[in-house]
Amino acid sequence: MIHMGPETTPCDLVTVPARQGLEAVDILRRGADNEHVGPVLHDGACAVLGFLVPPGTAEAWDVPGSACTRTDGRGLRIPAEPPSVGGGWLLPPVAETPVTDPAVLRAALDQAARLIEAADNCR
């Protein structure tokens, strides 16, 4: 496990289709407010991205096209190695940004969905 301070950081996991997730990462990384993006996982097929968010996020998560996995008090922690076989880190864990702010992620995912819809309708 990665040590970030005296203890490892607990988290929930928001999963989204890779296309929307990659757009959201781009939006967050180039945002005017320099919003910080926490660790982001990808599955082996690069079909799904997972954003690490603070524990408890799943209780109020309602973004269409995504899911948020609860820790249910079991203390899911940020691992040093990606937890899925064949998967990897798109953005690895760093101490400065242990997780992504759920409100910031929600806004980026909404914007990404609108961009994808607009691009798909231009065909």
Instruction: Please give the pLDDT value at position 48.
Output: 94
SS (H, E, C) 2-24: CCECCECCECEEEEEEHHHHHHH
Please compute the mean of the pLDDT values over residues 78-103 and round it to a whole number. 78
Reported pTM? 0.82
pLDDT at 73: 54
pLDDT for res 1 = 31
Does the pLDDT at position 3 exceed 50? no
Compare 58 and 78 and report the one with higher pLDDT: 58
Q: 18: which 2 tokens?
A: 């890779």
- Residue 93 CA to residue 71 CA, distance in Å, equals 18
Residues 22-60 pLDDT 10s: 999 999 988 766 567 899 999 878 899 999 999 899 999
